[in-house]
Amino acid sequence: MPETEDPFFGGKAPPFAPGDAPPFTPPNPNAPAGDKGQAPPFAPGHAPPFHIEPLPPGIKMDMLPTQPDDNKPFNPSAPMGPIPGYPSIGFNDTPLNPPPRSDNIDQYFPKNRPDIKGPAIITQDQARRALVEHCNTHCCWSASAAQEMSVSNMLSSNAFQYCLETFCEKRSTAWAKVPYTGQSVDGPHNGPAPMPWDIPATYGAKFSTEKRLIEVPHTACVKPCEYCQACGWLRCNRCQGHGMSMCTSCHGSGRSFGASQQQQMCMFCQGQGRRRCTTCGGHGRIKCHMCQGYRSLKWFIQLTIDWINHTQDYILERTDLPDELIRDVRGHIAFQEENVQVFPINHCPEPSINQASNSIIAKHRTAFPNERLIGQRHTVRVIPVTEADGHWKDKKFRFFVYGLENRAYSDDYPQQCCCGCSIL
Ligand SMILES: [Zn+2]
Ligand SMILES: [Zn+2]
Ligand SMILES: [Zn+2]
């Protein structure tokens, strides 16, 4: 609708560019003559206009571009010409292949390896104590059966967990931007940009995951913000810059129906049919969120470094205890070895652990082609598991005590649901 036909302005051109002046104050029809415009125009629950900064010098309201569609990606032009070493730099992170390795992996072959140490045996008393403690930590398990039970068929065994950790570094680059507020700009005039894998950075802790963002030196420049066409502001989409939008209460009619079905003036818009736009507070414009109103952006190549600890394990557990429970308890570290690269073990008394070591190491050798290998560590843990039958009254049940902390597990313990709930 052309502005001159705008019913809001009564067919007259507004005395100021929409939104460029103090927010519009609809006349109060109930106000006595001479008081027009002074009565608070805000409908109940409607916020008063907030203070807004003036437009930058030389920028007029009608110059403001409309808000770009947030669902469409912002595709600015390339901040600068090609930068040596960064040929395919884009606006999305592109992973970089690590430089080829020059080391000979045979040098990491272990000269001698420690033995894999044996198990721990648990006594009947320890098993009972573990079960009593376990019952005390479950609200629904009564400890009396555990205290009074007799124990038979106690059988101790060892569970084994083999775990390989492969610690790698991944690098990727992309153009990044921040509002230009006058900060220093390290551009190509300071020298050539270092190659992405030559930028020094060290992880905080080995075998743990970490992310770091680094501005690549000598790649920065300042450009006008293309999002707002360097205005610093955008025309409000909701009200098209008028500062007012249709009243959702009366759907623009300005009238509503009272209790007696009598037509009356809509109280929410004072009969105007339109209300102050809640998106822009009635100003018709919102600050550009790309440049935060600074009108310029500092662009630079951002290097993203991810240190990743890839882990894979294999559990050998021969009883009916759910295998995954082994992962969360303490055990003896029977063997541990760390190097740039590790080699499969072949001296574990359990052949399936040796086989698992072989296949997991082989898999990790080629699993992360886009990452630089920093180090590997493999561990064999031995976790004691004791299985026993408990007898209480005329009931018989099986239970397990496992881990160095003697955790207990039973899925047919007789006093699980004393309080009637079914959640353990
Ligand atoms: Zn608006
Ligand atoms: Zn209304
Ligand atoms: Zn902007």
Which residues are within 5 Å of ligand 2 (an ion), measured at CB? 247, 249-250, 266, 268-269
Strands (E) across 203-331 are located at: 210-215, 221-224, 233-235, 244-246, 255-257, 263-265, 274-276, 285-287, 296-316
CA 242–ligand 2 middle distance (angstroms): 17
Ligand nearest to the CA of 23: 1
SS3 of 361, please? helix
Which residues are within 5 Å of ligand 1 (an ion), measured at CB? 236, 238-239, 277, 279-280
Ligand nearest to the CA of 240: 1
Ligand nearest to the CA of 228: 3
CA 326–ligand 1 middle distance (angstroms): 59
Residue 391, φ and ψ in degrees, nearest 5: -125, 130
Helix (H) and strand (E) counts in the chain: 3, 15
Residues paired with 332 in a beta bridge = 382
CA 235–ligand 1 middle distance (angstroms): 8
pLDDT at 202: 94
Using alpha carbons, select from 132, 188, 172, 234 the residue that is nearest to residue 370.
172
Q: Which residue has the tokens 């309080």?
A: 419
CA 43–ligand 2 middle distance (angstroms): 9
The tens-digit pLDDT sequence of the chain (424 residues) is 333 333 333 333 333 333 333 333 333 334 333 333 333 344 444 544 567 888 999 899 888 998 877 777 777 888 888 888 888 888 888 888 898 888 888 888 888 887 776 655 666 677 677 777 766 666 555 666 677 777 778 888 889 999 999 999 999 999 999 999 999 999 999 999 999 999 999 999 999 999 999 999 999 999 999 999 999 999 998 888 999 888 988 998 998 887 777 888 898 888 999 999 988 989 999 999 999 999 999 999 999 999 999 999 999 999 999 999 999 999 888 899 999 999 999 988 889 999 999 999 999 999 999 999 999 999 999 898 888 888 878 888 888 888 888 888 887 766 665 444 433 3
CB-CB contact of 189 with 79 (8 Å): no
Ligand nearest to the CA of 271: 2
Q: pTM value? A: 0.72
Give residue limits of the domains in the chain.
Answer: 116-165+307-409
